[in-house]
Amino acid sequence: MERWQVEEIFHEALQRGPAQREVYLHGACCGDSGLFREVSSLLANHSDAAGCEPWPANAAAQLIVEMVSLTPGQCLGPYRIDSFLAAGGMGEIYRATDTRLSREVAIKVSPARFSERFEKEATVIASLNHPNICRLYDVGPNYLVMELVEGRTLAERIQRGALPVSEALGIARQIADALEAAHENGKTHRDLKPANIKITPEGVVKLLDFGLAEVEPAAADEAATKPARANAVAGTPAYMSPEQASGSIVDKRSDIWAFGAVLYEMLTGKAAFPAATTLETMPTGPGVADWDALPATTPPRIRTLIARCLEPERRQRLRDIGEARITLEKLDDKPAATAQFTGRWLVRAGVLIIVAAAAW
């Protein structure tokens, strides 16, 4: 491949929002997995530098030389590589087969032996057991063996346009359920976005990529006394809360912010804060999203929920994702409850009509 080709696709991808980049790359690379991996790595390292000096393209490209490239038929222990799936800042992902169990799996390979971030992801996923969170099966010296989740990412689904309200709320409820399980386990995701959410052909939501996940401080006072990490601005700018973008200590309320942004994007087909790429452009006051873009059929409770999630001042923000789950579940139950009530009313009305007719 030519260097000019890599740089051209890289710069074109930068002009697109995070939710559209992956779809663009698949089309621009025309099935060239090597080209896809190289551009993906450039983009991943460029994103990781958010809030810092941007990485020059040639410096990011230098990292690609160190990436582990596997070919179909090659084995990692008992796992046989079948095909390349994707690339990211932490390494490459392959479809593989566990030859002992004849089970298809996804293998995430790190270019180095267990970096701190790679080890953190393994630890976090291993501590979580939830149907809406991708499962971890095994750990190797420089790879993770995970559940192979078929289907498209939510980013690919949104690329086709806004989701119907009922579909968006059903997906949001599953996301909230998964986040609640993580938060109750003391973990924050810190990189919740449509590209890290997969939807299986059966409609089951799976949260992916806990590479940036953090264990929450034991107490708020402890968090307040800790200095902000100089290199802690990690994540995807369009979905980062103001405190996360500033490099401050984050907690579960940053995930709640991202949840609100994802829900808004599902309903409107566009990012809530497409210009939020630096701390200077992060929202600083209420009403920053284009509320008129929400469908007219959006329930008032959902409008209120999104507003509470996207409150810039985190002390005023929704405090627990479980509240969002409850709101969404009540909306799911409402049609059934209404139908049941209507059925009872019709039966009683019918009886009254029959009695009145007999009396007459």
Report the alpha-carbon distance of residue 255 to residue 252 in Å, rounded.
5
What is the Cα–Cα distance from 84 to 71, expressed in whole angstroms?
8
Query: DSSP E strands: which ranges in 59-159?
Result: 75-76, 79-88, 91-98, 103-109, 136-139, 143-147, 152-153
Q: Where are the alpha helices (DSSP H) in the chain?
A: 3-14, 18-29, 33-48, 57-65, 116-126, 154-159, 165-184, 220-225, 242-245, 252-268, 300-309, 321-359
Amino acid 154 reads L
| Rounded CA separation 175/337 (Å) | 24
* CA-based nearest residue to 266, from 160, 162, 191, 169: 162
**Token reading at 95:** 């479809």
Q: Is the separation of the CB atoms in 159 and 21 below 8 Å?
A: no
Active-site choice (191, 209, 251, 255): 191
At 193, phi and psi to the nearest 5?
-160, 165
- Selection from 342, 33, 334 nearest residue 166 by Cα: 334
SS3 71: coil
Contact 45, 60 (CB under 8 A): yes
Active site residue 191: yes
Nearest to 147 by CA among 78, 209, 73, 70: 209
Question: Which sign does the torsion angle of CA 29, 35, 36, 38 carry?
Answer: negative
Annotated catalytic residues are 191
